């Protein structure tokens, strides 16, 4: 009898493929009886690069094609960066595992050879794809110009090095997985710049009712708890890919502490706060913090 074959779906960018390979290596190590195959595809979010995501449909554009492939049985599981997944996902395509979290912090990247942030060219804009990062960055460095930049990490770095931007705001996790930590000029603490919900965590999505017990070797309980709190916070605030909402949870023993940021896009008013509670109530804690911050702004 032959091996059971599992087909993994991924976006086709270099980072997405590396992330899928990380998951595949863990599965192979723990389940040598399985045969694995990787299929990559270009998503709508990868194709439409002329506009920011909030103008063309938000985070769902990064998962639509993979969702369809899952529904049609073309793939058995899909690997995503959790921060790129929409707040609401189909009930029949649940997230079945959360990877151990990579460094969740945001970073500033300067052109090669620029040196420190003191050498940043203030005549050019800072490139950033996230309203969340933009708002928090301008609190730290008021007066600088920030403009949208689209494309995968390598595409953005190419635009930076060709002189289009003075610097880029990116996620530490992506650069680390690409072995590009040497490009980082400034790391922002999670207090200076609260990360996006799920940043640094890989989400493995499958079909409801399928036997996916082999993914237990991937699932990290602390990452799962943090993800539940952060995604509940974002769901309450209806946070899309370009929403200014931010959430970061840390697990300490039996407790989880979540820090969140909510920005009213119409008035620019901001509310920031934290809440701690039993990790078994992670989603409830995230929801209640979002409710409190929303009330403070409104």
Active-site residue, selected from the candidate residues 46, 67, 76, 84: 84
Q: How far from chain centre, in Å, is Cα 34? A: 28
Contact 185, 193 (CB under 8 A): no
The SS3 of residue 80 is strand
Question: In the structure encoding, which two tokens stand for residue 295, read together?
Answer: 């009330």
Looking at residue 243, the DSSP 8-state letter turns out to be -
* DSSP-based three-state secondary structure for 232: helix
Widest pairwise Cα distance in the chain: 66
Q: How far is CA 74 from CA 12, 36, 39, 90, 100, in A?
A: 16, 14, 9, 17, 27
Answer for the pair 28, 49: CB distance below 8 angstroms, yes or no: no
Q: Known catalytic residue: 145? A: no
Question: Tokens 């999505």 correspond to what residue?
Answer: 205
Instruction: Say how far apart CA 296 and CA 274 lie, in whole Å.
Output: 13
Q: Phi/psi at 261 (nearest 5 deg)? A: -130, 130
Which residues belong to the active site? 84
């Amino acid at each position: 009898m032959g091996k059971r074959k599992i087909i993994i779906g991924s976006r086709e960018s270099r980072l997405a493929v590396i992330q899928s390979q990380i998951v595949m290596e863990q599965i192979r190590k723990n389940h040598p009886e399985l045969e694995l195959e990787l299929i990559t595809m270009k998503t709508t979010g990868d194709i439409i690069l002329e506009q920011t995501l909030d103008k063309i449909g938000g985070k769902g554009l990064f998962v639509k094609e993979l969702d369809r492939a899952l529904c049609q049985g073309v793939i058995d599981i899909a690997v995503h960066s959790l921060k790129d997944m929409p707040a609401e996902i189909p009930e029949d395509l649940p997230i079945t595992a959360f990877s151990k979290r990579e460094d969740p912090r945001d970073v500033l990247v300067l052109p090669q050879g620029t040196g420190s942030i003191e050498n940043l060219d203030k005549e050019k804009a800072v490139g950033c794809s996230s309203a969340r990062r933009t708002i928090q960055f301008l609190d730290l460095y008021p007066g600088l110009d920030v403009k949208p930049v689209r494309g995968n990490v390598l595409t953005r770095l190419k635009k930076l090095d060709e002189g289009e931007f003075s610097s880029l705001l990116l996620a530490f996790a992506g650069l680390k997985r690409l072995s590009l930590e040497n490009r980082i000029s400034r790391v922002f603490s999670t207090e200076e710049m609260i990360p996006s919900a799920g940043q640094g965590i890989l989400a493995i999505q499958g079909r409801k009712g399928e036997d996916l017990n082999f993914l237990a070797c991937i699932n990290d309980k602390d990452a799962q708890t943090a993800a539940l709190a952060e995604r509940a916070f974002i769901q309450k605030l209806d946070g899309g890919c370009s929403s200014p909402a931010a959430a970061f949870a840390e697990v300490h023993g039996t407790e989880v502490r979540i820090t969140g940021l909510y920005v009213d896009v119409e008035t620019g008013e901001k509310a920031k706060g934290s809440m701690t509670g039993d990790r078994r109530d992670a989603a409830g804690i995230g929801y209640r913090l979002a409710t409190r911050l929303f009330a403070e702004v409104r």
